[in-house]
Amino acid sequence: MEPFDSLILWLSDFLGSHLYEGIFLAALLETIIPPIPTLAVFPTAGFIASQQGISILGIIPMIILGATGATIGTSSIYFIALKLGRLALLRYLKYFKISEKKLERVEIWFEKYGDKAVFLGRIIPVMREMISVPAGLLKMKIPKFILYTFAGSCIWSAITIFAGYYFGEAIGLATENIP
């Protein structure tokens, strides 16, 4: 089994018994060690929450923890980009199969949309992991970066967790009606 597959399996098992901590950990790891797929983990967490009978109000802390983990993790990438600069960062990114061409595309997108790119980038898959790099390289103001990152991450967390939650509820309703 690949190390990445082992990590995903471990995260899934961890979610079963530590739902809230698992959401935070998955979001934190996704931004530091791409590509941990919160697109898979968050809906799974929502599904588990529905199966465990957690109310919709119980989902709100999951959303906040997911956004907080993502904000902390992506802030570390922002600070690395801010302090190390482009050349050092490219050496780091090659280990995650992120080419200079991909980085250039994200930088162009960032320059086109300005600071709003961070907010939008936290909602769009693939951009989620990359948007902190140009923000750091182009020296976006730290408070604005954190605010936009947290807000965009809240939306991402809410959409993906609620999708899993409602899917789980639909399955629960469907199985109740089976004779």
Each of the 179 residues of the chain gets a pLDDT tens digit; together they read 566 567 667 767 777 788 898 889 888 887 777 656 677 788 888 988 988 899 999 999 999 999 999 999 999 889 988 988 877 777 777 766 677 787 788 788 888 888 888 999 899 877 777 788 889 988 899 999 999 999 999 999 999 999 999 987 776 665 666 65
The parent domain of residue 143 ranges over 3-176
pLDDT value at residue 65: 96
| Entry field: residues in the chain | 179
Helix, strand, coil in percent for the chain, rounding step 5: 85, 0, 15
Number of independent structural domains in the chain: 1
| Global pTM value | 0.82
Cis peptide before 35 (omega within 30 of 0): yes
Q: Are 39 and 125 in contact (CB under 8 A)?
A: yes
Residue at 71: amino acid letter? T
